[in-house]
Amino acid sequence: MGSQKRGLESTEEVEDEGPVDKIEPEQSRKKLRKEKKKDGESKSASSIKPMERLKKRKALDKDRRGIASVNDESKPVQTGMELKAADDTKEQPASSPSSGLPEFHITVFKDLASVNASVREAAVEKMVMELQEVQKVYNKLGKKALAERGLQLEAEKDDGLNNCAPSLRYAVRRLIRGVSSSRECARQGFALGLTILLHKIPCIEVKSLLKLIVNLLEVSSSMKGQEAKDCLLGRLFAYGALFRSGRLVDEWNYDKNTPYIKEFTSIIISLAAKKRYLQEPAVSVILDLVEKLLFKTCSGPNITQALAGSGSAEPWVEYNMDFGSEGITWTGYQAQAQKLPAEVLLSHVLEAPGINDWFEGAAEVGNPDALLLALKIREKISPDSKIFDKLLPNPFSTSKLFAPSHLSSLANCLKESTFCQPRIHSVWPVLVNSLLPDGVFQDEDVVSGPSTIKKHKRSRKCSSSKEDVAKNLQYFCEVIIEGSLLTSSHDRKHLAFVVLLLLLRRLPASFIPVVLSYKLVQCLMDVLSTKDTWLHKVAQHFLKELLDWVRDDDVRKVSVIMALQRHSSGRFDCVTRTKTVKDLMAEFKTESGCLLFIQNLTSMFVDEGDASEEPSDQSQTTDDNSEIGSAEDKDSVGPLGNSDFLRSWVIDSLPSILKYLKLDPEAKFRVQKEILKFLAVQGLFSSSLGTEVTSFELQEKFRWPKAATSGALCRMCIEQLQSLLAHAQKGEGPKMEGQEGEGQRALTNIREPFDLGSYFMRFLSTLCNIPSVSLFQTLNNEDEKAFTKLQAMESRLCREERNCLQERNLRLSATANKLHALRYLLIQLLLQVLLRPGEFSEAASELILCCKKAFSSSDILESSGDDELDVDETPKLMDVLVDTLLSLLPQSAAPVRSAIEQVFKYFCGDITDDGLLRMLRVIKKDLKPARHQDADSDDDSNDDDDFLDIEEAEEIDEAVGIDEAETGETGESDEQTDDSAAVVGEEADEEIPEASDDSDGGMDDDTMFRMDTYLARIFQERKNQAGGETAHSQLVLFKLRALSLLEIYLHENPGKPQVLSVYSNLAQAFVNPHTGEGSEQLGQRIWGILQKKIFKAKEYPKGEALQLSTLESLLEKNLKWASKPFKKNRSSENPSKKKQSASRNRHKMIGSLAQNSIFWILKIIDARKFPESELREFFDIFKRVLVGYLDKKKIQIKSNFLKEIFRRRPWIGHHLLGFLLEKCGSAESKFRRVEALDLVIEILKSSLFLNTDGNGQEASKKMLKSHLPKFGLLIKVLVTKMPEKQARRAHVRKFCGKVFQIISTSNLTKSFLEDLPPDAHVACETQLGESFLALKKLGRL
């Protein structure tokens, strides 16, 4: 420590330099003898003060350092070999051979501070063995003989070690000074050495050792800081070594009235009073004396054998006890034990001076170490002793110890135990052991263990011991944890969490609600919601340990969830911003755990939650440095109170149990039944006679809360009940052989035992028949009739379904699927009638009529006169069913829509064209339609200018105009759109009216309202100019739900001709500009259906119903749209870049749609194998496109797209080759003429290289020969009117070279040269050069 290093350590360093008896220079020897003599005289004089002795020692150290420096200067400089030799002889004996004593090597002291424990133990072994030999010889020879041999003795010092050899004296002093060193592991090693040395060599007197410790490690007033601390800690370790050596026990065995135990205890107490950090280790030393083990002498030739063990359990063990940030570490060893008798405690330890005063003032000053000592000593003495009256109750009992009044007196002691953080004080484990003794809860631990989980039931009569423990635990938590620690500083909150973790290790599951009390949960929430304090990590650690503790035990898990949510009003995760409760709920894996959780949730809902309604007192759980959470968290409850919010969490949590649960169907069905019963009882019914009703039919007792459940909670129950039934319907049964899709039932599997819907209807009927039970709200006449009819129809359909399944016939099984889907829709509609009275009674009546007409068995048709069906006057079944389903879609929740989709899935195969048209009309409707065209106009030019009847609407947003950059001389191929990157597409179908509102031109308002009630309501809102935004959002939502039904239709009927109608209307709806502007989600949904279910479907429309004229019309319109240029927006002079980019992207997307549609239509036409005579108009369409492409700059169709058409459908190119050659020669656009040459090459490649068989090659040769004159004329035009640009001239030469190559390969060279005009020969030779000359040379052969 620099200049402040005390003289004791200086002396130690000097003595390390050589042996004690080493002969020094004559001058220094005389001076040292003189100093020693003076030192001896000063020790004999009692009037000399310790401070004077310390000054003399410092002077002696100074002289020795001066002598050492003189010797170093006088020595010559050593070479490397000499240094090596000096190192080899560095270890010198402490006793010279001439003295007659064995050698003692002091270098072992350096190894005592080693970090390696084995090195320290070896050093202790070596030191003790050498000193034993030295002392043995010393005892034989005696002082006089050794003096005659010239040995310089140190007996002149009055250290009380007169009977010890000089080396032993030196070792004892050296070890005492060493325990005060803070370097590395010096305290551990030197304390271990001192302990064993005192144990093995009995000539060292206890009296002398006590005096020597005080003299060598005395703390003076001049010492400050670390220097004084090292001395105090050194004394503590030295006293500990003395006790652990067993010498005090030996003294007491020799003399029952020995004063050393009492003196030793008094010294330790006085030492503990000096500094606070010394109290706990000092008490540890006293407790070792009182309670733990004392040493016996270990027999054996050496310490190594003792360390290895010689029959006794752990005879020698070095151990470390860390006491926190002060770095206090206790080192020693233990031997076979014997305990001090109780009389020693009373006559020696407890009568030691100062200890009585220590106990009396402990409660007032807050001394947890005195409390710890009192608790441990009380176990060894008579319970009638009054020495601990200030700390412990008299007579002592556990119940009195944990009584509220007594705990309040101990609160100050326990609060002050925070000084040793982060380590927990030793008094807490002692209190926890007394609070939760072993053996009391062994049976409960077995029941709630991880291997065996049983249904948790509270015993009506607990044993008295358990009741006492529960009461003591409650008092402890209320007074100490909640009343003292949680209301104080952050340090004491930290201590509270640590103590709670100690309790958890021994805590039975039934006591969890006691520990996780309201104030604790509130404090935990406050800390977790405040992330800018160090206490936040403490709370996170506590929560992690808590979750680990409950993870494998469902009983604990349920108790923790209930406590956290009950005391947070169901908002623990919300306030703390964690997923604690959610993750715990996801970990239920067993049926028993789920049922236990459901039982507890039911009890929480029914019982009035006093804890949840307890007002939050911030002063009880926080201090000035804590925050309660944001106001946002406090207001998150909304209009619901704490009790209703907690109950709403219960309702939401019940169905979520099944989310991650993986059980066999039977076990899962039992869990579903329990959830269903709770939701049905609490959401649908109320009791008019008390809060409990017993059903003798179901043999169950049902309970309701004392206060009536609010309507909002009842509606939540109904919604969760709908979701539960919907999920049960989706997950029912295995797949049926030969069919696809989830929920299909095997023919051999009767669904009835696991049919949750059937169980619910029986349960509902049973409760409705109980006189004292009624629905939670009164229904009007219409709803009540609908409710009764829905029950009756579901029962009839259930019987019919059972009959179909029992036949085990594939056809009847398909009927059973329809029945089952309708049943679940009826159940969902029944719940909707209760959830939203007055809105669904009409739809329910229509659905019941559909059920009667669809399954016209005698049983189902039995009804009153009001329900009789006039078959002749009623519309078709599927039309009524589609209208009913569409009317239910907009207003229904997700479970009802899921049931609608299931019904539509099984009935869509029978849907009529009118029914399909009704669905498609919903997709095309818009609140802000495009301008109407003249309904009487049938001019074909209108079709040319209005692709799919939406061009005029497009021009509203994008005025007609050609981008100046789009000219014939630019590379339009750069604008080619990758099909894989296209986002949308479009086509039309003449089988269905066009997308504009002309399709409804002949429909008056009344007819439209009859078509769809919901659409009528939306348009009526629009007419009234009220709620425009709401109406639009509702319409978009309605369209999305209708699209789900269309997607099901396309999946179930991929090859029907009606798919073409669906495609046309979806394309129209997508290209409509209001679709993109109104809802991006709607556009993406339509595009996804077009791509996945139509363009990329494995099947495509087939059959004679597909008319070629319809396909040709669609093809022509799509080709025109693919040819349209990008139109720059003229609505504003300087449109923003964002709008320009959006407009260009829209143009690309629609162009990509047109291209995909053309490929799809060509595939359909190709599959029909129409004769060539019927394809005249088809080819004329392509001819008009080619003419426009070659002559008009406005036609922006891509050449690569045309090439792809010819590559996929070569027969089109073969037919158009002659026309293309003629038009290329007379093309008005020179750029397009050169670009079209690639089309000619593509056609030639497909005709020559794809036909590899003999007949195909001959036909290709014949086709090529017939077009040789046209090739000649085209080449003449190309070579006589060569383009100006070098790149295009090279393109022409390349084309001509490929044509010459194909002609020569087909052996048509001579015929080609004959058909080539004479004036073209010279131009070809000039422009084409060698390629044409080579052709002419080949023609002469």
What would the 3-class secondary structure string for 586-607 be?
Answer: CCCCCHHHHHHHHHHHHHHHHC
The predicted pLDDT at position 802 comes to 86
Q: How many CB atoms lie within 10 A of CB 67?
A: 18
Assign 3-class secondary structure to 1275-1324.
HHHHHHCCCCCHHHHHHHHHHHHHHHHHHHHCCCHHHHHHHCCHHHHHHH
Q: What is the pLDDT of residue 746?
A: 40
Sequence-ordered alpha helix ranges (H) in 384-517:
398-401, 404-415, 427-435, 442-447, 464-476, 490-506, 512-515
Q: Residues 6 or more apart from 33 whose CB is under 8 A from it? A: none
**Which tokens belong to 46?**
């009692």
Vertex 947 angle, CA 942 and 950, to 5°: 95
Question: How far is 84 from 81, CA to CA, in rounded Å?
Answer: 5
Give 526 or 298, the one with higher predicted confidence.
Answer: 526
pLDDT of residue 899: 92
Q: Are 354 and 267 in contact (CB under 8 A)?
A: no
Other Cβ atoms within 10 Å of 963 Cβ, number: 13
Q: Which residues contact 13 (CB under 8 A, 6 or more apart)?
A: none
Pairwise CA distance, residues 1334 & 97, whole Å: 120
The pLDDT of residue 284 is 86
- Which distant-in-sequence residues (6+ apart) come within 8 Å of 1329 by Cβ? none
Task: Report the DSSP pairing between strands 692-695 and 700-703.
Answer: antiparallel
Structure tokens at 581: 């409760």
Give the closest residue to 472 by CA, choosing from 464, 978, 281, 570. 464
Most confident residue range from 142-146, 334-338, 1032-1036, 1127-1131: 1032-1036
Strand partners, 1265: none
What local confidence, expressed as pLDDT, does residue 1308 receive?
A: 86
pLDDT value at residue 334: 41
Rounded to whole angstroms, the Cα distance separating 958 from 942 reads 19
The distance of Cα 1324 from the centroid of its chain, to the nearest Å, equals 76
Going by pLDDT thresholds of 50, 70 and 90, the confidence category of residue 363 is: confident
Per-residue pLDDT at 1090 exceeds 70: yes
CA distance 129 to 271: 33
Work out the pLDDT band at 495, boundaries 50, 70, 90. Answer: very high
Q: CA–CA separation, 1013 vs 1010, rounded Å?
A: 6
Can you tell me the distance from the alpha carbon of 535 to that of 915, in angstroms, rounded to the nearest whole number?
Answer: 66
- Please state, in angstroms and rounded to a whole number, the distance separating the CA atoms of residues 438 and 917: 78
**Banded pLDDT at 766 (limits 50, 70, 90):** very high
Query: Would you state the pLDDT for residue 4?
Result: 40
Most distant CA pair in the chain: distance in Å? 149
pLDDT class of 977 with cuts at 50, 70, 90: very low
Q: What is the pTM of this model?
A: 0.72
Query: Within 10 A of 1064 (CB to CB), how many other CB atoms are there?
Result: 25
- Give the lowest-confidence range in 506-510, 599-603, 1189-1193: 1189-1193
Cis peptide bond upstream of 422, omega within 30: yes
Q: Read out DSSP for 384-403?
A: T--TTTTTS-SS--HHHHTS
CA dist., res. 503 & res. 432, Å (int): 6
Is residue 1249 very low, low, confident or very high in pLDDT (cuts 50, 70, 90)?
A: low
Per DSSP, helices labelled H in 1024-1174 are 1028-1052, 1058-1071, 1073-1078, 1080-1089, 1108-1123, 1137-1168
pLDDT at 789 over 60: yes
Q: Is the pLDDT of residue 335 over 70?
A: no
- DSSP tag of 353: T
- Residue 1248 pLDDT > 90: no
| CB neighbour list of residue 464: distance below 8 Å, 6 or more residues apart | none
Q: Of 770, 909, 898, which is closest to residue 828 (Cα–Cα)? A: 898
Angstrom CA distances, 18 to 123, 736, 1241, stand at: 18, 96, 106
Q: Nearest-5° angle of CA 81, CA 87, CA 92?
A: 135
Contact assessment for residue 1216 and residue 1182, using Cβ atoms and an 8 Å cutoff: yes
Per-residue DSSP letters for 3-55?
GG--HHHHHHHHHHTS-TT----HHHHHHHHHHHHHHHHHHH-TTS-HHHHHH
Measured between its terminal Cα atoms, the distance across the chain in Å is 113
Closest by Cα among 578, 596, 451 to 524:
578
Structure tokens at 42: 């000063």
The pLDDT, as a whole number, for residue 788 is 93
Measured between alpha carbons, how far is 1015 from 922 in angstroms, rounded to an integer?
Answer: 8
For residue 776, CA distances in Å to 688, 759, 1204, 1248 come to 10, 20, 68, 82
Average pLDDT over every residue of 1030-1047: 87
Instruction: Report which DSSP code applies to 92.
Output: -
Predicted local distance difference test score (pLDDT) of residue 10: 36
Give CA 1198 to chain center in angstroms.
51
Reading the block at residue 175, the tokens are 């070890």
pLDDT band at 1078 (very low <50, low <70, confident <90, very high): low
Q: What angle do CA 453, 459, 464 make, to 5 degrees?
A: 120
Q: What is the mean pLDDT of residues 583-604?
A: 92
> Whole-angstrom Cα distance, residue 1048 to residue 741?
11
Determine the pLDDT at residue 998: 38
Sequence-separated (6 or more) residues with CB below 8 Å from residue 1211: none
Q: From CA 1263, how far away is CA 1267, in angstroms rounded?
A: 7
Say which amino acid occupies 319: Y
Which residue bears the tokens 């597909």? 1106
In 3D, which of 493, 136, 121, 486 has the Cα closest to residue 333? 121
pLDDT 10s digits, 1096-1137: 888 888 888 888 888 988 898 888 888 888 776 655 556 677
CA distance 746 to 733: 7
Residues 6+ positions from 553 with CB-CB distance below 8 Å: 448, 449, 450, 453, 509
Q: Which helix (H) or strand (E) holds 547?
A: helix 535-550
Confidence of residue 1189 (pLDDT cuts 50, 70, 90): confident
Res 56: pLDDT: 64
Whether the pLDDT of residue 294 is over 60: the answer is no
Q: How far apart, in whole angstroms, are the C-alpha atoms of residue 1072 and residue 999?
A: 15
